[in-house]
């Protein structure tokens, strides 16, 4: 029998929302390959697992599992955002704070993060990810949205669609 101090700590599982500074932008969709490459770079430098994700025109919702004992999210998101932004022109109308801080002005500062605590919390955030394209009015059925891990979850049998297909 293990003592509490010898037990393996639970994995660091986080839900994140990151947004573009321009909420009307569709840059993430137009630059999907750039986003994929930036994600690969961040994964290579600071490993993590993408459990679920949806990429919307101006924001990303995702669940990541970080390596045991590593809850450092700032470096991962900082690198991903920097790699994505590199080579893109700065927006014409940058927020004055972005100019002052030397930011390119593509991303909102920071990341909204929530450490997921139990299976119900994970399931609720997965549902939010899968239903986001419907909630934002982009599609009427979440299976219609191509930029989501819902398709992978359905193929793997780790998620089933409710009878009302309009809500994941």
Sheet holding 59-66, edge to edge: 49-55, 59-66, 12-19, 112-115
Using DSSP's 3-state secondary structure scheme, residue 84 falls into helix
Report CA-CA distances (Å) from 37 to 83, 101, 103, 112. 8, 26, 21, 22
Q: Please state, in angstroms and rounded to a whole number, the distance separating the CA atoms of residues 93 and 97.
A: 12
Q: Which residues have CB under 8 Å from 125's CB, separation 6+?
A: 15, 52, 63, 114, 116
- pLDDT at residue 55, as a whole number: 98
* Three-point CA angle 156, 42, 115, nearest 5°: 65
- pLDDT at residue 95, as a whole number: 72
- pLDDT at residue 2, as a whole number: 37
- pLDDT at residue 97, as a whole number: 72
- pLDDT at residue 10, as a whole number: 60
Q: Where are the alpha helices (DSSP H) in the chain?
A: 27-30, 32-45, 74-85, 96-101, 119-135, 150-156
Residue 84: count other Cβ atoms within 10 Å of its Cβ.
25
**Mean pLDDT, 10 residues at a time, over the chain (168 residues)?**
43 93 94 97 96 98 93 93 91 73 84 92 96 97 97 94 63
Pairing of strands 112-115, 12-19: antiparallel
């Amino acid at each position: 029998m293990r003592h509490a101090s010898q037990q393996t700590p639970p994995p660091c599982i986080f839900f994140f929302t990151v947004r573009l500074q321009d909420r009307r932008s569709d840059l993430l969709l137009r630059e999907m390959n750039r986003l994929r490459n930036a994600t690969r770079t961040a994964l290579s430098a600071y490993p993590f697992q993408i459990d679920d994700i949806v990429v919307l025109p101006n924001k990303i919702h995702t669940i990541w599992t970080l390596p045991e004992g590593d809850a450092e999210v700032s470096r991962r998101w900082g690198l991903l955002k920097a790699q994505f932004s590199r080579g893109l022109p700065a927006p014409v109308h940058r927020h004055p704070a972005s100019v002052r801080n030397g930011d390119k002005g593509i991303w909102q500062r920071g990341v909204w993060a929530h450490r997921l605590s139990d299976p119900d919390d994970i399931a609720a955030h997965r549902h939010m990810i899968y239903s986001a394209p419907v909630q934002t009015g982009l599609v009427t059925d979440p299976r219609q949205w191509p930029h989501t891990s819902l398709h992978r979850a359905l193929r793997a049998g780790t998620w089933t669609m409710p009878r009302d297909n309009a809500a994941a």
